[in-house]
Structure 1
């Protein structure tokens, strides 16, 4: 009871810190969980529209940004829109925190509000630990290097492409990362393990944040905020952690007050949590299972899957020599996905064609992504695994001899794992 009595009256610093922290995270988190519940997520559209207006107005009138700021979902969390929105959140946090402090000076504590806030914050963090964790457990966020990546050099890759290839190469490491994030979510769900869950979430997200910062992955803002959430939840037990890890003192159990005194209230709250977590897990597992078959490691492979080196390229009856400056002649053809075929030109440029392979009439049907009306038919002949293509492509009559390149020649694919290594296998495979 002594510990509880000490927490019933907060000093000015405690109250001030809670006001600012709770306002900042609440502005950042809301409208969760409304925006993830099917059927009602549309009701938050006016709120999103309000944010779009504020970002545009503040960016133009306060920050002096001349370009139009619009919310476009590109996969980046570090868009100009996001930076301006976070600037507004910081300003609103300062304003609301000051007004709250002035109007509510005499309140002794925010114990009950803090309980609700921590629960709200915790389940937001749980949601994203499961989202990012489960997708990695299904080996989806980072997938095995496709044929384009295998044929392009490290020097051509952006830092983000490099880290995506590094992670995607190893299914075991990717799944370990997913397990760590998922385990953080599981630990956060229970009051007895919430402090440990906060520590694990902080450690996991610190690593993610540093990777994002070091490899220019545009999720820097979001990963930093998830990291800070984990740190805040862990620091709720700051004194006990310091006594245990630093001062080597005996630490008693933490005291938890239930949000509801009645059994009925506790049961209803527990039921809501179970339904929410169940929905999150089931939905993410189903999405991941579908994605694994659609674009993951179990995706459909097209006919003639593989890498083909161009031995002869004849265009309009002229044999084109393999000059590295040539932007027309093919160097490689990559058949990797059923919906498109990749062509690497001699100068290293990549050209993708939407494609269908007609094995009955023995032809490739190409269309440009920017022009799906005009179709180009290239008929093929097989000799073992080698291919000869003939037809008209974008106004040119071409005849191309393609030699199959065994994927076993890629050291990245055939090295595997070895317990015993007499010498480090740190090399580059020059076999073409």
Structure 2
């Protein structure tokens, strides 16, 4: 097995030294939150960090460079500008080093390329592990792509974007999601250790290449993010490019390089390195995995609201009667005012099927997962006072919209709603629950309550 000096040393060509410095800069600026918007965001709205403080780990794992989110996750122009900027910084860095060393004897010059490569090797490995650990654990405990909700099961196929449809169809098969998560988690663990980093990088490429193409084909929103991780994984193999050519193309023997860890003379540095590595693995893999396991066991997912709804309300309801200002509005398939059906989810969401123009939301954010990538339904969060029989509804897309209604339940599965809508018109609505069977839920051997 070759060591570091086989590819990092005084004999390096100038372009290799330039690439090394440019990609050190790239690895650093893409893992450190540098954009003001990162610090100004509402972390609790996006990540529920108040009630779940360990979700700060997810904040770090899901931090995106400025060019990730632009243009629907396809800001290739911003990505190329960033790469160009990194190469310019790398060129200046190299030029400054040359000026410092120009009057020195060549035997006295220490470029430090081996140490810099070690820094690069650490930055890239841990950035890939930081980002992929979240994706892996959220699939091992299948909460990244949850099983479709009752609202989604009652949304027309044509009302979904391709990206949302891909997420839902993946969520239908938790077995596949868990399998993918185990594969991703294995690659993440391997990439954290120097002796297995090459194998981990190869597995990451096998994972990320189809993910990148899936995002291109389905417009799933993380196209550039997957390409970024794919590039970092490829960079981990760049040192052995000629070795892989010899092995795979020329069918010759070749030794894969081993990146030796830095040698520290002080004991506290040696101990500190071990503590940091063990701490990273414990916190981002075991500790977070434990909490995601608890989340899954409780039947929850951060892709959907975490607050429970009223269990007896859950189900699909037909709208039997609909009145505005005491005027009965009969059912018509093209009526833009009358509700067509209503869903009470097991969590505190009410969704309403209406025929009206919708503004499609394609921002892939945690707090908008219910309604991003699909149209056809209004989504409201609700609080219920089951003693006073009061429902407080807040529009999840426009939190400034709020209504307070009274309700009665003359018998199980029947609701009567009364109150004022957002236009201050009085409404009177009668809902009847309908028991429905969904082949997707039956195939999964899952009973969706009230369906």
Is TM-score (shorter-chain normalized) higher than 0.5? yes
The counterpart of 1:203, out of the listed 192, 198, 206, is: 206
* 193-202 vs 255-264, which moves further: 255-264
- Summarize the alignment of residues 157-176 of structure 1 with structure 2, pairs less than 5 Å apart: 157-176=160-179
- Matched with 2:223 is 220
Three-state SS of the structure 1 residue aligned to 2:181 is helix
**Aligned residue in 2 for 1:184:** 187
- Asked whether the 8 Å contact 1:378–1:392 carries over to 2, the reply is no
Q: How many angstroms apart in 2 are the aligned matches of 1:77 and 1:307? A: 38
Q: Deviations over 1:107-133 (max 9, x none)?
A: 677222212211221111111121221
Structure 2 Cα separation of the partners of residues 355 and 365 of structure 1:
5
Aligned-residue offset at 1:50: 12
Distance 1:74 1:218, change over 3 A: farther
The aligned residue for residue 38 of structure 1 is none
Looking at structure 2, the residues matched to 103 and 218 of structure 1 have their Cα atoms a distance apart, in angstroms, of 40
Q: Is 1:96 the equivalent of 2:104?
A: no
Q: 1:244-393 to 2 correspondence within 5 Å? A: 244-252=247-255, 254-260=257-263, 262=265, 264=267, 265-285=269-289, 288-289=292-293, 292=296, 293=298, 295=301, 300-303=308-311, 304-336=313-345, 338-347=347-356, 349-367=376-394, 375-393=403-421
User: Structure 1 residues 379 and 17 mapped into 2: Cα distance closer, same or farther (>3 Å)?
Assistant: same
Name the structure 2 match of 1:23.
Answer: 22
Count of residues in Structure 1 that have an aligned counterpart in Structure 2: 385
* Higher relative contact order (Cα pairs below 8 Å, separated by 6+ residues): 2
Aligned alpha-carbon RMSD (Å): 3.8
Would the alpha carbon gap of residues 75 and 216 (structure 1) be closer, same or farther in structure 2, given more than 3 Å must change?
A: farther
Matches of 2:212 and 2:428 in 1, distance apart? 50
2:439 corresponds to: 411
What's the CA shift string for 1:180-220, capped at 9, x where partnerless?
22111111111221110011111111122112222223322
Match of 2:363 in 1: none
Question: Structure 1 residue 361: deviation in Å?
Answer: 3.7
Q: Deviations over 1:69-105 (max 9, x none)?
A: xxx9999933169667535422322323333444546
Change (3 A) 1:4 1:330: closer
Structure 1: where are the runs of 5+ without partners?
Answer: 36-43, 53-71, 418-431
CA drift of 1:334 comes to: 0.8
**CA deviation profile, 1:30-60 (whole Å, cap 9, x unmatched):** 384xx5xxxxxxxx7xx545999xxxxxxxx
Q: Quote the residue 2:115 is aligned against.
A: 112
The runs of 5 or more residues in structure 2 that have no matched partner are 40-62, 99-105, 357-374, 446-450
Q: Which moved more, 1:241-250 or 1:89-98?
A: 241-250
- SS of the residue corresponding to residue 377 of structure 1 reads strand
> What is the CA–CA distance in structure 1 between the aligned matches of 2:66 and 2:426, rounded to whole Å?
40
The partner residue of 2:135 within 118, 132, 149 is: 132
The verdict on how the C-alpha distance between 1:90 and 1:257 changes in structure 2, with shifts beyond 3 A counting, is closer
1-side partners of 2:401 and 2:4: how far apart?
Answer: 73
Distance 1:127 1:259 in 2: 21
1-structure distance, mates of 2:285, 2:208: 20
Q: Which residue does the alignment assign to 1:235?
A: 238
Partners of 2:324 and 2:207 lie apart in 1 by 54
Query: 1:197 touches 1:234 (CA, 8 Å); kept in 2?
Result: no
